[in-house]
Amino acid sequence: MTEYTLIETDICVIGAGSGGLSVAAAAAAFGVPTVLIERGEMGGDCLNVGCVPSKALIAAARTAHEMRHGAARFGIANVEPQIDFPAVMAHVKGVIASIAPHDGVPRYTAMGVKVIKADARFADADTVEAGTHRIKARRFVIATGSRPAVPPIDGLEGVPYLTNETLFDLTELPDHLLVLGGGPIGIEMAQAFRRLGSRVSVLEASQAMGAADREMAELALASLRADGVDIFEGAAVSSVSGAGGNITVTIGEGEDARRITGSHLLVATGRKLNTDTLALDAANIAHDKKGIEIDSGLRSTTNKRVYAVGDVSGGPAFTHTAGYQAGLVMRPLLFRIPAKMDASIQPAVTYCDPPLAQIGLTEKQAREKHGKIDIRRFALAENDRARAERKTEGHVKMVIAGGKIVGVHIFGDAADEMIGLWCLAVQKGMKPSDVTGYVPPYPTRGEIGKRAATDYYSAMARRPAVRRIIAFLRRFG
């Protein structure tokens, strides 16, 4: 029988990813006794096997692509890069290592946070057990995130496959990478490995990049296909067979079945919540496969001591959303001020190259919600900075309803940076006129959005009534 050491604290945070670390740091900054429990690596999925390593790999792949195709347009000879794949992966690991101390145990211990490295499980409504500790707390914040979901495909468990948790441990470049799933992870890694020299086939059961505005998604997919990535949509995989270096996926069944063979298989078909070992029922925390049942303030509907942030909250599964939610829950945790989650203002970026960034409603969603809408576009090819850098692919698409900006979608170089202004515009319910008054420096890509907003009003200049008013006013000098 385990002998437990009792710890009584004000706040107990379970999970040291983006959301959990933010809550723990904020609570400690106000001098609130805080315990942080993490069974794996500090920094969670994003730092260790998600956002950070994937972006480091994408950066290496983009450099290789620019060496092959990007120099000649400036009068510099293109060259075929020499890919040292172990060195590429060492670069990825090095980036993780450089960030890790910021999220590490010593830093949080120095803040005054009690860090426990162990599995956590609820013993009752106000008690969690972790290792040899029993923690009683006034409030709990569950921020345990998610892990790759492995679909029930016949034969899959019998072959070696990769997920984002194991992909960055590769030591040799795949000859032919098969990717199950056409969401952000699958698309990003498909393009990166193609640019590093692998053959790549993406198999998506429905539509690739299905959460994105369809017009913009098609632009991004065309760009990947131009890079040589084979993308199969409506390709439901019925079975998998083979062994390492020779893996075959079967699409469809019977006489219509199609088979594709590759050297490696990456499963990127979704996420599964890390709640199964928490014994949530013991604490009367209602939950299902979508997450913990919470109210608009991220508080458990059945155990008022408990809050949920990040993937387990059932909202958008983004690192920045977890950080946003962490800020929200600090209001009731520390100041008893109500908070309300707004899932509609969460941006999303697929970090293909060029990237696809979005905030707010897609065109389809806006039509379904508002009926009459206005769409404005402005091409990167019309922007002086984009021309100077020969990065003119793509455009900005603005969705306007009721005179307000309800969605913005950008496909093109630096879209992930340009979307920042539009996050503010959508979050604050701005009108196009609010953006036309914005003064960006010249020459920057920031001018692109302003031009799209200005175009919204250009139609007014063509209205006969407006022209008659101007003609009348001119008579007065």
Domain stops at, among 270, 286, 313: 270
Query: 114 a known binding residue?
Result: no
Cα–Cα distance, 280 to 294 (Å, whole number)? 13
Residue 474: inside a domain: no
Cβ neighbours of residue 320 under 8 Å, at least 6 residues apart?
18, 346, 347
In single-letter form, the type of residue at position 375 comes to: I
Q: Does 144 appear as a known binding residue?
A: yes
| 181 labeled binding residue | yes
Residues 13 and 93 both lie in one domain: yes
In a domain, 108, yes or no: yes
- Which two structure tokens, joined as six digits, stand for 255? 């006489």
Total domains present in the chain:
3
CATH of the domain at 398: 3.30.390.30
On whether residue 71 sits in a domain, the answer given is yes
Same domain, 252 and 192: yes
Domain boundary among 314, 344, 374: 344
Residue 20 among known ligand-binding residues = no
Helices (H), 302-389: 319-330, 363-370, 384-388
One domain, residues 69 and 121: yes
311 in a labelled binding site:
yes
Is residue 270 marked as binding? Answer: yes
Establish whether the linkage from the previous residue to 443 is cis, with ω within 30° of 0: yes
262 is in an annotated binding site: no
388/419 same-domain check: yes
Task: Kindly state whether residue 110 falls inside one of the protein's structural domains.
Answer: yes
Q: Are residues 108 and 34 in the same domain?
A: yes
Q: Tell me: do 132 and 190 sit in the same domain.
A: no
**At what angle are helices 184-196 and 214-227 packed, to 10 degrees?**
20
In a domain? residue 181: yes
Tell whether 188 is in a known binding site: yes
Give the structural domain span for 210: 156-270
Q: Are residues 242 and 114 in the same domain?
A: no
- Asked whether residue 86 falls in the same domain as residue 217, the answer is no
Residue 55 annotated as part of some ligand binding site: yes
Inter-residue contact 291 to 314 (CB < 8 Å):
yes
Domain boundary, last residue among 319, 344, 369: 344
471 found inside a domain: no
Same domain for 86 and 176, yes or no, is no
Distance in angstroms (rounded) separating the CA atoms of residues 369 and 4: 54
Contact 220, 350 (CB under 8 A): yes
- Does residue 170 belong to any structural domain of this protein? yes
212: domain CATH number is 3.50.50.60
Show pLDDT as tens, one digit a residue, over the chain (477 residues). 678 999 999 999 999 999 999 999 999 999 999 999 999 999 999 999 999 999 999 999 999 999 999 999 999 999 999 999 999 999 999 999 999 999 999 999 999 999 999 999 999 999 999 999 999 999 999 999 999 999 999 999 999 999 999 999 999 999 999 999 999 999 999 999 999 999 999 999 999 999 999 999 999 999 999 999 999 999 999 999 999 999 999 999 888 899 999 999 999 999 999 999 999 999 999 999 999 999 999 999 999 999 999 999 998 999 999 999 999 999 999 999 999 999 999 999 999 999 999 999 999 999 999 999 999 999 999 999 999 999 999 999 999 999 999 999 999 999 999 999 999 999 999 999 999 888 999 999 989 888 888 877 776 667 788 788 878 888 886
Does residue 184 have a known ligand-binding role? Answer: yes
Is 9 labelled as part of a ligand binding site?
A: no
Give domain status of residue 477, yes or no: no
Pairing of strands 287-288, 246-251: unpaired
Q: Are residues 258 and 119 in the same domain?
A: no
Q: Are residues 264 and 278 in the same domain?
A: no
Do 313 and 195 reside in the same domain of the chain?
Answer: no
204 is in an annotated binding site: yes
Q: Residue 185 annotated as binding?
A: yes
